[in-house]
A and B are shown apart, each in its own frame.
Chain A
Amino acid sequence: MPGLVQASPTQAALRIRNLRKTYKDVVAVDGLDLEICSGECFGLLGPNGAGKTTTIEICEGLTEADSGEVDVLGLRWSSDAPALRQRLGIQLQETQLAEKLTVSETLRLFRSFFRQGPGAEEAIRVVQLEEKRDARVGALSGGQKQRLALACALVGDPDLLFLDEPTTGLDPQARRQLWDLIEEFKAAGRTILLTTHYMDEAEKLCDRVAIMDHGKTIAQGTPRELIASIGVEHVVEFSAGNTAVDLSGIRAMAGVRDVRTENGNVLLQVTELHKAVPALLDELTRQGVPLTELRTHSATLEDVFVHLTGRHLRDE
């Protein structure tokens, strides 16, 4: 992968080879390979049920794999679990911390589990919960709870930080606040593995991403590389109300890579927006189709996922 520091064996913070995990008759992880370099923020992007959480929990030593190799910071769970626990910072999906404890009591509790690391007060400052230090956890907002969960992951001064869906369920402002925090961790040189099903989150935070579907990675690289790989720069979406559109005419237009219909709308993947839009308007006029809606956006990781799977990230 060009443009980034190549993962060499000595630098890999996390290396996964041919990982498999099956629950009863559901294959959660199906031959996964990953390599994460020291100091990078790596994103596992994929829809619900793609195997992201299972993968991250195997890396965290909470779930046992059926087969495959997992090296974390050069150590193995089977032989080095106590040492590994000291060096990992973990934020799980949907953990509810004890509601009756205050913010600072919670952090002192978690701090007491680690040999070394910043004090509770330091962690409170980092996640900007100073004003809430004596508030009960039960009285915090969703975003504040999530920041506290991050602080709990930081009190052991981890070499590797696992964040499982850190912003799921938060309002836009709280998400943005959390992103700023994660950016700070990145700037401080921490290695981060995060999972998300928000493509904007992955694009904003991650140096590299792996797109997962059905327990496998279907694409890997920097967000920019992945978007470029589908050969599409823009997406045009329009609606013609209830009037039928002849899609073959649109497909024949220059610079159009793909045409799909979705919820009554037509989506075009195009390379040159400034040529495609006038051509589209001409074609619709020729067909006598009235335009009720027209939108364009630059291609995103979502489009990469749609391109690769024909489905949306948030489809169930």
Chain B
Amino acid sequence: MSKRNFTDHALVQLTLMRMREFIREPEALFWSMIFPIALAAGLGIAFRNRPPEVLKIAAVTPHLAEALRREKLLDVMQLPSELAEQFIRTGKVALVAEPGADGSVIYRYDDTNPEGRQARMLADQAIQRASGRQDPIAGNDQIMREPGSRYIDFLIPGLIGMGIMGNSIWGPGFSIVDARRKKLLKRIVATPMPKHYYLLSFLVWRMILLPVDVGVPLGFGILVFGIPLRGPIVALVGTCVLATLAFSAGGLLIASRVRTIEAASGLMNLSMVPMWILSGVFFSSQRFPDLVQPVIKALPLTAVIDALRANMLQGSGFAQIAPQAAVLGAWLVVCFGLALRLFRWR
């Protein structure tokens, strides 16, 4: 052979095989891309912070309407009195303001309806201020609604960590067990291919997919919910890379000897389900008793999620997330070492 292209390299061809098997499996695309978005969207909507309610009221004269519109929490319609009467009876407005005798104002509303009572207070305040009332004490509002303290801000790092874990364990694990079951693994090691290329191709492919694994939930969170990225991006990327390596090593370990898909599923669920529950994906792991906290902290998923939350929400860099990185590194070394020792090619 005189000249060989880059694509004729065994590692490239093996990685291409990973890619082709992935993109030609529609279910895989769904579970790894659409599902996390759907989950984040569903939970984000369920736990969203509602904007303050605006009350609809009617005013009969332009003068009143103008005074009332200064109150931002009121949505004021100017209507002729018959129509205003009809609107309040059908509940389309909570209150009707109309001029009374001697320049007074009449508020028509149902005092058994909380909306009516609230509208009465807001409307009266607006009209008194418009007529020149000075409040003796100034009250300044400070609204607590900043990004970073909402449920969705807590949730997105959890979903990113869960996604990395799921994709890194299922992906290589299933492919290897399937190839072993079909004796493809045995056929491939009967060629001169260096064995580590085969395992390496899984890591290369996960690294190629990592921007998608992380980018989909992260991009969704940023675009739709405006979640913050307060820490250095390089620490975020580093955490995700280390997590992918650690969980892929776990996937290799799980798949190192198993011969059936059923047995592999069992082992994967056995290792992942406890982490879904304990590692604080959906709610804080601090809720578990102090006694088990050291165990929870030692789980790889806890380490990823804690590091991501610290980075994204509190702005932590490498120095602050070093303990979590150490936990992930330890899992990587132990799982990969065991996997190499235990791996069976047939």
Contact = CB atoms under 8 A, between A and B. Distances in A.
Interface of A: 60-62, 82, 85-86, 88, 90, 92, 94-98, 100-101, 105, 108-117, 136, 152, 156
Interface in B151-168: none
**Which of B187, B188, B346 has most chain A Cβ within 10 Å?**
B187
A112 B1 contact: no
Contacts of A105: 16-17, 20
A105 B14 CA distance: 10
Interface stretch (B5-13, B40-48, B283-291): B5-13
Given A90-B191, A108-B8, A113-B193, 15 more contacts: A60-B190, A61-B190, A82-B192, A85-B190, A92-B186, A95-B182, A95-B186, A96-B183, A96-B184, A97-B184, A101-B20, A112-B13, A114-B192, A115-B192, A152-B187
B5 to A, nearest CB: 10
B24 interface: yes
Contacts of A95: 182-184, 186-187
Interface residues of B, number: 26
B27 interface: no
Contact of B184 (A60, A61, A98, A112): A98
Contact of A86 (B1, B8, B14, B192): B192
Contacts of A90: 187, 190-191
A86 B98 CA distance: 97
11 contacts: A62-B346, A85-B191, A92-B187, A92-B190, A95-B186, A96-B182, A97-B184, A108-B8, A117-B1, A136-B24, A156-B192
Contacts of A98: 17, 21, 179, 184
B183 A92 contact: yes
Contacts of B193: 113
Contact of A113 (B20, B192, B346): B192
Nearest to A109: B13
A61 B346 CA distance: 13
A101 B191 CA distance: 18
B8 A111 contact: yes
Contacts of A100: 20-21, 24-25
Nearest to B22: A100
A101 B23 CA distance: 11
B54 interface: no
B10 to A, nearest CB: 4
B189 interface: yes
Interface of B: 1, 8-10, 12-14, 16-17, 20-21, 24-25, 179, 182-184, 186-193, 346
Contacts of B183: 92, 94-96
Nearest to B187: A95
Contacts of B9: 112
A98 B193 CA distance: 17
Nearest to B345: A62
* 5 pairs of A and B residues whose beta carbons are closest in the complex: A96-B182, A85-B192, A112-B13, A113-B193, A113-B191
Best-buried of B13, B14, B179, B346 by chain A (most CB within 10 Å): B13
Contacts of A94: 183
A60 B183 CA distance: 15
A109 B187 contact: no
A115 B1 contact: yes
B193 to A, nearest CB: 4
A116 B1 contact: yes
A113 B197 CA distance: 10
Contacts of A112: 8-10, 12-14
Nearest to B11: A112
Contacts of A117: 1
A109 B191 CA distance: 11
A109 to B, nearest CB: 5
Contacts of A85: 190-192
A108 B20 CA distance: 13
Given A98-B21, A100-B21, A101-B20, A109 B14 contact: yes
Contact of A108 (B13, B25, B188): B13
Contacts of A111: 8
Contacts of B179: 98
A96 B180 CA distance: 10
Nearest to A94: B183
Contacts of A92: 183, 186-187, 190
A108 B12 CA distance: 11
Nearest to B14: A109
A113 B187 contact: no
Q: Could you say which of B182, B183, B192, B193 has the most chain A C-beta atoms within 10 Å of its C-beta?
A: B192
Given A113-B193, A114-B192, A115-B192, A62 B13 contact: no
Contacts of A101: 17, 20-21
Contact of A109 (B17, B25, B182, B190): B17
Nearest to B1: A116
Contacts of A114: 191-192
A152 B190 CA distance: 11
Nearest to B24: A100
A152 B188 CA distance: 10
A82 to B, nearest CB: 6
